[in-house]
Chains A and B, each alone.
Chain A
């Protein structure tokens, strides 16, 4: 684990992609993005996996800072914490822009002469 060499910000965003690199967790995140806060019971129905499995995946997502739990009456609800997703998206957009610039330089260099 190379975390000791990393700047705090990079180390904090490290688990985001590991957390999203799983189909079930991706589906849970997509569901929470679309439906807003949902209970574990709600997330389990139609997911094709057990309540325990859903709970385990939610804990992974919560540790990565992607979802947070809310207490609503007797049921615990989960919702998306958009900040971490936005941060990851901004990084990807910055890198995409760098590629767009490189490709347009490649295009110009070949179409000039």
Chain B
């Protein structure tokens, strides 16, 4: 990572499926909930604010929200959000954008997350880390308990 990338994340993946399929997996609330592991309280539309609840094992039950920005079918899908907080504090949101492109054998998906200012970065990273430490501690105590019982 260079210094210039220090407030931006970009990841790419090649999916062996046509753009129309990838688009529906990204933007249909039912499909989104399966791979993203969060349940939304409605369908996706530009400008809409959706309340979400995480179903990810590391952050299960945590509420957050996203504000859908652009939806250009089979091309661009973006939202702003503030993971790690259910508060409606739009000053501290980051912006997530998915771009779809045709590629040999399928669709190239690029996701970028921008707008980290230190506060959002620390809170965002911690939102999951704290929780996973919690799980590790629970597992440790279980192992200890099992060891003592044996």
Contacts and interface: CB of A to CB of B under 8 A. Distances in A.
Given A17-B116, A99-B113, A91 B125 contact: yes
B128 to A, nearest CB: 6
Q: Which of B6, B35, B125 has the most CB of A within 10 A?
A: B125
B138 to A, nearest CB: 20
A15 interface: yes
Interface string A10-21: 110111111011
A105 B125 contact: no
Given A17-B116, A106-B109, A95 B7 contact: no
A15 B1 CA distance: 20
Contacts, number: 109
A26 B117 contact: no
A21 B118 CA distance: 11
Contacts of B91: 2
A9 B123 CA distance: 9
Interface residues of B, number: 38
B22 A10 contact: no
A26 to B, nearest CB: 6
B16 A94 contact: no
Nearest to A15: B118
Contacts of A41: none
B17 interface: yes
Given A29-B3, A99-B113, 7 more contacts: A11-B119, A14-B117, A89-B1, A89-B6, A92-B121, A95-B9, A106-B109
Interface residues of A, number: 39
18 contacts: A2-B89, A2-B91, A10-B126, A14-B117, A14-B122, A17-B118, A17-B121, A18-B117, A26-B3, A88-B6, A90-B125, A92-B116, A92-B125, A95-B125, A98-B128, A99-B111, A102-B35, A110-B21
Interface in A35-69: none
Contact of A96 (B4, B11, B37, B126): B11
A20 B92 contact: no
B29 to A, nearest CB: 14
A103 B6 contact: no
B99 interface: no
Contacts of A88: 6, 118, 121
A29 B2 CA distance: 11
